[in-house]
Structure 1
Amino acid sequence: MDRDSQIQFNKNNTPASGDATILVNEKGIISDSNQRACHIFGYERIEMIGAELNKFMPEMNLFAAEEGMIIHQFGKHREGHDFSLFFRINAFSLGNENYFLIIFNSVKDQSRLKSQNAYQLNELVDLKYALDASTIVAFTDQRGIITYVNEKFCEVSKYSAEELIGKDHRIINSGYHSKEFMKELWQTIGNGEVWRGEVKNKAKDGSYYWVDTTIVPFLNEKGKPFKYLAIRNEITEYKQVVEELKKSVNELSDLKFALDASSIVAITDQKGTIHYVNDQFCRISKYSRDELIGRDHRIINSGYHPKRFFADLWRTIASGRVWKGEIKNRAKDGTYYWVDTTIVPFLDEYRRPYQYLAIRHEITKRKKVEEELQLMMAKIINVQEDERRRLSRELHDGIGQNLYSHLITINRLQSEFNHLLLDQMQEEATEIIEELRDLSWALRPSVLDDLGLIPAIRSYLVRFSDHSHINVHFDCYLNTRLSENKEITIYRIIQEALTNIRKYADTEEATVTIREMEDEVRVMIEDKGKGFDILEVSRGVGLFSMEERAKAVQGSITIQSIKDRGTKIILDVPL
């Protein structure tokens, strides 16, 4: 290129902005470079003209660059270090030659630019629009004075741009954070490093809001910050949720502490394998945590409860319902203890249990008192039965025999004398003897002692039907002779239940069933009479007597009744 052409080029193509420019021919040889470009690379103008462009810009490919695109690459300074360059390229022809004009944009922040990035100007505009629409953005100078805020900043802070520009961020300081917090922030960005954290600010109306904040320092050629970009996302709702969760966690921790201090706690999976036990569990069972974790509760099974008891327990919790009851367990040293137990199933999204929480309270002392009372009650019942037996024998063998002797004497007199008074005496003596027999039978039927439970019940049912005119169906499937206490218990409960049917059921039929099961005898007394509401009827002496008799032989009694549909009494006595 001759001087006239060069002068003409400078007049027509040199940017009026004073940007740095380099003119390159199609072979990559520098035809011209202005003083600003020379200064950027650290060379004199005469040293650059005629040199190859790749010496100064090693990554440059003139033919691959799109015209008008802002390109970022690294340049090579005379002193040997690389530095960032933003530039665009314009291609044109001059005479018969093709030339490329490289126009460099001024870049102050040299700290975090990456190579091989190119941006269209319209893409940068789109990025800024998206950022402003979604994010709180602010620029400050190196002293922290706000020089720019976007609309999102004003919307959240409730300050106008005019109220914010020229101020520092103390205008929105909530006073929540310590001086050390703010000092660490400024030390970080003052050293040219990015700071990230969560900040609680105060809006103009006095309300508080939280922002997830990233502050990026922009560095000059000496590596010193000359301004800061703060990008924030509001997280007020998130922080409120976190605070609520923290509060809930603290409350749960307090509850757990209270529970662990007062209760025996264990957690098992759906199969019953123990995953967690607290200190109270270890203390009372005398097993260590390591000995319990991974095992099931059979490790503390006392053998006291029948299989049906635990089958009912598992059936209840496996269906997702809470089970409550009293369990007798055995500790590692062989001692026994009682616990009042509540087992709560935890359900998954399909309403199926995936684990169980068992909360227990020790009731060993209470159960001992109850056992002593039960033993005392059993003794009272035995004394009562012994007294009934004695009275029954005296009535039958003593007074009954004397009356029978008098009846014989009256019969002899009647054979010798015919007198109305003798007839009256015979009739009255006969009635008294019959009443004594009934009384003796009610006190203690001799057939119960002589022949056993089943003959005694059959005999009693015949007498009951004759007197009450209630037809009683009796089914018995009992092959084992029970102990005296259990037989008298079954007899007395049947006797009491049928008496109540006669008094209150208003029915002409009843059913008594005795079945021998796997490990117990079940007795059912049922009628289809008036029935009653169990919650409305107070427990009388008869019901109390039946319950205590059942407890005395380690049995249980259940009453089911529906108005106008009848009543069923179920007695279970262990074999």
Structure 2
Amino acid sequence: MIITPQLFSLIVIIIIIVILLHWWFWRKLKLLLKQRTNELKRSNARLQYEIGACQKVKEQFRKLSVVIEQSPSTTVIVDTQGNIEYVNPKFTKVTGYTAEEVIGQNPRVISSGQHSKDFYQDMWNTILNGNEWQDEFLNKKKDGTLYWELASISAIRNEDNEITYFIKVSEDITEHRQAQQELQENKEQLHSILNNTATVIFLKDIAGRYLFVNKRFEDIFNISNQQIVGKTDYDIFPNEIANIFINNDRKVIARNSLLKIEEKVPQDDGLH
């Protein structure tokens, strides 16, 4: 085959074109590889960040779970359909129900039936409006025993601000309620004793203000307990009589012990 100058020139041109194409291809490939490598590095960095963030969230969740599991307060989580999703061990200790027995159940499982519809309506209106609701519940344990709890209920929302769950945290206040009731009963019994004695009995603070007077005091001085509480002898009696009472009070305070004193008090027919 005879290679003419024209054919040689064509071959040279083709070779040059092939070399240029090869160079262009490898340059583009190199740039593409560099671009993909950088994208991969960015993706890897983003993935590492997300993994780290996920690990932090998991750690926070683990800590929160430990806190709730070991909390001295009862914790109950309910979904928007009113079904129990979670109860902590304190719930079991207080109510006698295990988690397996109540999960999927309505919280009515511990209801005592002692609260009105208006009571529950107020609760739902409050939490559905995104506010925290607090009040006292009278509930029933698995064995039928009634108990009081002070509860706080609030809504849990997702990233779209939609309510997904409700959480109730409560304290068993049965003993506190019983103590209050006993204290009130003792107070009423004491008042009954004081009001049924023929002796005048009163109680003052260190400043001489009346805190309590019994019925005998009310009858003699024609003044009610409500009218006299917070007042001093100067608000009730003439100054000369009030001075005597105040001086006698000071003697008792100074002696810091029982002191027997005869006092004359003004009545409708004079001093007695």
**Shorter-chain TM-score tier:** 0.5 to 0.7
**Larger C-alpha radius of gyration, 1 or 2?**
1
Corresponding position of 1:336: 270
Alpha-carbon shift at residue 176 of structure 1 (Å): 2.4
More strand by share: 1
Distance 1:190 1:250 in 2: 42
CA deviation vs aligned residue, 1:13-67 (integer Å, no higher than 9, x gap): 8xxxxxxxxx4xxxxxxxx7xxxxxxxxxxxxxxxxxxxxxxxxxxxxxxxxxxx
Q: 1:157 aligns with which of 92, 95, 98?
A: 95
The 2-side partners of 1:202 and 1:136 are apart by 14
User: In the TM superposition, what whole-angstrom CA distance separates every residue of 1:491-545 from its partner, at most 9, and x where no partner exists?
Assistant: xxxxxxxxxxxxxxxxxxxxxxxxxxxxxxxxxxxxxxxxxxxxxxxxxxxxxxx
State yes or no: 1:300 paired with 2:241: yes
Number of the residue aligned with 1:389: none
Question: CA RMSD for the aligned pairs?
Answer: 4.4
Q: Write 1 or 2 for the structure with the bigger share of helix.
A: 2
Residue of structure 2 equivalent to 1:196:
134
1:227 equivalent in structure 2: 165
Q: 1:318 aligns with which of 250, 255, 262?
A: 255
1:128 correspondence with 2:69: no
TM-score between the two structures when normalised by the length of structure 2 = 0.63
Report what 1:64 is aligned to: none
Q: Does 1:103 align with 2:50?
A: yes
Q: 1:264 to 1:122 in 2, by over 3 A?
A: same
2:252–2:259 contact (8 Å) kept in structure 1: no
> Residue deviations 1:359-401, cap 9 Å, x none?
xxxxxxxxxxxxxxxxxxxxxxxxxxxxxxxxxxxxxxxxxxx
Query: Would you say the 8 A contact 1:265–1:281 is kept in 2?
Result: no
SS of the equivalent of 1:144 reads: coil
For the 8 Å contact 1:274–1:294, the answer to whether it is kept is no
The CA distance in 2 between the partners of 1:157 and 1:124, in whole Å, is 26
Greater relative contact order (CA < 8 Å, ≥ 6 in sequence): 2
Equivalent-residue separation in structure 2 for 1:164 and 1:136 (angstroms): 14
What percentage of residue pairs aligned between the two structures are identical? Answer: 26
Q: Is the 8 A contact 2:210 2:232 kept in 1?
A: no
| Offset at residue 205 of structure 1 (A) | 0.6
Q: CA deviation at 1:248?
A: 3.3
Structure 1 segment 170-569 matched on structure 2, within 5 A: 170-252=108-190, 254=192, 258=195, 264-268=200-204, 273=208, 275=210, 279-283=218-222, 292-293=233-234, 299-300=240-241, 318-321=255-258, 323=260, 327-331=263-267, 335-338=269-272
Cα displacement (A) at 1:151: 1.6
Structure 1 residue 245, shift from structure 2 partner: 2.7
The correspondence of residues 5-44 of structure 1 with structure 2, limited to 5 A, is: 23=42
Q: Is the Cα–Cα contact under 8 Å of residues 212 and 233 in structure 1 kept in the other structure?
A: yes
Question: Are the aligned partners of 2:133 and 2:153 in contact in 1 as well (CA < 8 Å)?
Answer: yes
Q: Name the SS of the counterpart of 2:70 in structure 1.
A: helix
Unpaired runs of 5+ residues, structure 1, are: 14-22, 24-31, 33-89, 92-98, 107-117, 304-309, 339-575
Counterparts of 1:270 and 1:150, CA distance in 2:
50
User: What is residue 138 of structure 1 aligned with on the other side?
Assistant: 76
Query: Normalising by structure 1, what TM-score?
Result: 0.33
Decide whether the 8 Å contact of 1:193 with 1:216 is kept in 2: yes
- Aligned residue pairs, count: 227
Distance in 1 separating the partners of 2:85 and 2:147: 22
